[in-house]
Structure 1
Amino acid sequence: MKRVLTGAVVAAALLVSVQARAQGSVTLYGIIDTGVDWESQAAKAPGQTSASGSAIRMTSLSSALPSRWGLRGKEDLGSGLNVIFELESGFAPNSGALQNGNRLFGRSAWVGLEAPYGTVRAGRQINMTYIALMKSTVLGPALYSLAALDPYLPNSRSDNTLSYFGELHHFVLGATYSTGRDAASAAGSSAVNGGAAFNPGATNCPGGVAGNSTACRQITALAGYWGQQLGLQFVYDQLRGGPGLLPGSVSYDPSMPLLLSSSSAKTTRYMVSGYFQLGDFALRGGAIHRMTTTTTDYQTNIYYGGASYMLKPDVELDGEISRIATSDQKNANYYVMRATYFLSKRTSIYTMLGFMQNNSRASYSVGAGNYTVAGAKQTGVLFGIQQRF
């Protein structure tokens, strides 16, 4: 009996130890980031011919960064091999609603193996376009950012994805392969697309079509050099169309409500970008060419460049200029400045100033996800606060 009790105590101690190790390898993290945004010449919906007036609102999709919380874990298997995972959920701090197509873990949900020669992951994850963009823009996925010119860029994630990423002597190589790029859809009252409303985070393309391996497929690839002071990278990104999630519906392009009704319809991007870092000063920029092929071809070119400077240990200044030119002459210039004051290592307050200069055909809003009218010269001002945990 004594041996049984001793064995039970030892087993319980081992179990507690294993659980403690497992708990110790899991990290809870997150960002709560919200602000108040004012924009001139605002419209209530796309296609308005005259502005409704200025608008003031609390941010939801993003402020300086999208709000999120997540769990990240790692287990050492020995010999340089680790099991890793990440579950990340995006939410709107102004309402508490889920983001990323109303998914609990819409930002990421993957498990992988990390080894000396690279990392392999499986699940929903950011793709190589997102990774390259975060290396080459000073603003990131802010409300005032490249997201205002192309809503795909801050939403460049892929469902049903296998990925590889490796780095050797600052040279990097990565790729993703998705068998169904987006298995979520946003319900809407639109007469087109089977009633699915346009949502760049839920583009209605689940894939898995019998006899058609290219339906909703997405492939991205990155090759580059990431030095401490200088970096350069090239990205290839192709996504396919196909049948939608809803009965009778089809998928659409995450950049605009353009239907991709079959697997032969596709959007292909080529990006070249880089950075230069010298102490507290950084320059970042690049160019993105996009071609969407359906019954006709539609092309866009985005050029962007920005600078970031730590004026003081607790004050950072950012500025970025970008331009979009399209095959249907919907062109615009975009100017953004941001000043951030760090109250602590985890908390900051900031202000952003944006100006969108549309030509007579273009109607890009200074704030991503908002609306203005064609030809608008729109100004936006944002005040926000961010807390990391």
Structure 2
Amino acid sequence: MFRHAAMAGALALASSAICAQSVMLYGVVDTGVEFVNRIGSAHDNVVRMPNLSGTVPSRWGLRGTEDLGGGLKSQFVLESGFAPNSGVSNQGGRLFGRQAWVGLSGQWGQLSLGRQYTMLFWSTLDSDILGPNTFSSGSLDSYIPNARTDNAVGYKGTFGGFTVGGTYSVGRDSVNAGPSPSGTNCAGENPADSRQCREWSAMLRYETARWSANVTYDSLRGGPGAFAGLTSSALHDDRLTVNGYAMIGKAKVGAGWIRRDNRASITPRSDLYFGGLSYPVTPAFSVDAEAFHLRFHDSSNKAWLFAARANYAFSKRTMVYGTVGYIDNRKNTICLWYNRDALDAANFYAKTFPDSAVGAVHRSPGDYPDGKEGDVLTVEFTVAGIPCVGLNGGPHFQHNESFSFQIATDDQAETDRLWNAIVGNGGQESACGWCKDKWGLSWQISPRVLVEAVTSPDKALAKRAFNAMMTMKKIDIAKIEAAIRGDGK
């Protein structure tokens, strides 16, 4: 700890400078090497160094206080985030992008002015076990580890077991860092639109020595040019969270729920559930694990994330850790073009194929070249577990065989049912197990026995099955099995 006078900043309420009696310089450097596989449709791999966080974000900062007497203190925090892999400043290149505030505190609580965390950060600090880890809640909602705001007035006070807090910002993010949560280009402070780029949050917490429960609300307003689709002050992105933790013996268990209402998204409502455990095996060695589930209302989009971490502390200041994570991210969808029949097609697929359903139906907010305001524009649906969206784009583009769904069947009865349903509903037979539905979309109705045979390492067997397939329209499993056996050679 260094003890010398340091200029902390100007406290706007008093229009005067604060000189700290005690200034502490602190920091942490956290980095590692990450391997990620099965990226994108090509299932690519990458080895990289995280530029933001391995298990906690790298940062350095200054924290100062001055005792003003009568229990009153002045305070400031200046905290900078940086990327240890390249040395650049994070949070959109800000000098003090993590925190930059000055305030007063006393028995009544703490009042702070400047760039600071919102109450969403403080609410999930203990209940979200893995926190800002590389594989964590931030992988599913990037705002959670970036829940801070510019131009804000904040308050937190603890009274008995209760803590209340809130923030209010007149311009939540003045930095343009591209389409990134590090700088969302929403400066606000516009006299012509008082709602533009506002942020507010509120928290109520009850805490004992063994457990805690929180409820918090966080609201972001948009503005012209802001990222994440929040391009108008009429649009808002709100999060409500209920969470908590409990100590069970030496183990810490945390869980929570975050409801999101994002009016900049075509699927505005979502729920993120999380639950985790931290356990100290020895004073130096501990393990953590957490599961996350994200689901969207009126949509097939959903994701699961599982992560675990092992930590070994060499000292109070130095540790090593290893993290593994697995994500099943079903947010990506296939977009299929239709003339004006996307809803009819989705309903047909839902009643024909297993693990299929119709989700949200979205109507056009205005006229467009091939439709009018109020017409069905997009339909979300799932076919055989594959999330899709049907777009009523007009007659300009037609389906062809360059794209098809391959549906695996287990027996001849299932093969016949699916084939007859497609062809009998205005579809068309093709060759080798291929057919088209009435909207021109191609389908491969492929018995598993056929796929296994033509990909067999036994080249003679594969050729016999392949030659038999080439003579068929709908696949005849009995004839494929005969070819596998070599009957009739």
TM range (shorter): 0.7 to 0.9
Partner AA of 2:227 in structure 1: Y
Where structure 1 has 5 or more consecutive residues not aligned to the other structure, the ranges are 1-16, 44-48, 187-196, 244-249, 254-258, 364-373, 376-389
Indicate the SS of the match to 1:262. coil
C-alpha displacement of 1:279: 4.2
C-alpha displacement of 1:36: 0.5
Matched, 1:214 2:195: yes
What residue number does 2:133 align with? 142
C-alpha displacement of 1:359: 3.1
What residue number does 1:228 align with? 209
Q: Report percent identity of matched pairs.
A: 39
After superposition, where does 1:183-194 map in structure 2 within 5 Å? 183-186=174-177
Match among 223, 236, 240 for residue 221 of structure 2:
240
Report Cα offsets for 1:51-89 as digits up to 9, x if no partner. 3x2111111111010000000000000000000000000
Bigger RCO of structures 1 and 2 (CA < 8 A, at least 6 apart): 1
What residue number does 1:50 align with? 42
Indicate the SS of the match to 2:197. coil
Question: Distance in 2 between the 1:343 and 1:156 partners?
Answer: 31
Question: Distance in 2 between the 1:180 and 1:251 partners?
Answer: 11
Question: Distance in 1 between the 2:331 and 2:120 partners?
Answer: 30
CA contact (8 A) 1:332 1:362 kept: no
C-alpha displacement of 1:308: 0.4
Match among 17, 27, 38 for residue 35 of structure 2:
38
Question: Distance in 2 between the 1:168 and 1:270 partners?
Answer: 23
After superposition, where does 1:155-170 map in structure 2 within 5 Å? 155-170=146-161
Indicate the SS of the match to 1:34. coil
After superposition, where does 1:1-389 map in structure 2 within 5 Å? 19=5, 25-43=22-40, 49-51=41-43, 53-186=44-177, 197-243=178-224, 250-253=225-228, 259-294=229-264, 298-327=268-297, 328-359=299-330, 361=332
CA contact (8 A) 2:256 2:273 kept: yes
Question: Distance in 2 between the 1:290 and 1:131 partners?
Answer: 17
CA contact (8 A) 2:20 2:75 kept: no
Indicate the SS of the match to 2:180. coil
Indicate the SS of the match to 1:106. coil
CA contact (8 A) 1:118 1:165 kept: yes
C-alpha displacement of 1:201: 1.2
C-alpha displacement of 1:136: 0.9
C-alpha displacement of 1:285: 0.9
Bigger radius of gyration among the two: 2
Indicate the SS of the match to 1:131. helix
Provide the alpha-carbon RMSD of the alignment.
Answer: 2.1
State the TM-score, normalizing by the size of structure 2. Answer: 0.63
Q: 1:283 to 1:240 in 2, by over 3 A?
A: same
CA contact (8 A) 1:286 1:303 kept: yes
What residue number does 1:3 align with? none
